[in-house]
Structure 1
Amino acid sequence: MIVDGRLSEQVRDLFGTSSLEEAVDHALREVLCRDARSREVEALARMEGLDLSDEQVMARCWRQ
């Protein structure tokens, strides 16, 4: 595998890692987290799997 030395150095500096392997692992975890956040935002936008539109559920959420 050929890796751009300048790019890997920038990524190591950004993540505060000392090796290319650490930087790549961190970057891959960041990609997975970004994807998970994106899927959650989509689910919220579609109200998918949420009870926020259920009046009975929401009535129990507020203090009276």
Structure 2
Amino acid sequence: YVDCGVTAKLTGRSGGPPTKARVRKQIIKDINRTEYWMTAEECVDYGLVDRLATQDDLFRGAK
């Protein structure tokens, strides 16, 4: 499942869903580009990660 907003951004068009192969090729192209950096928040928006983990998420209850 890929969010509609993400797929529209990936394909540069709206109106009709892109094929999975086309989306996959675009993702591979984007993540392999050395001049294309994303912040953590941009990775969430792009759909590469579901959410960001904070230190509290990781170490809650650790003493």
Q: Structure 1 length as normaliser, TM-score?
A: 0.33
Higher Cα Rg, which structure: 1
Q: Which has the higher contact order (CA 8 A, sep 6+)?
A: 2
- The structure in which a higher percent of residues are helix is 1
Q: Structure 2 length as normaliser, TM-score?
A: 0.34
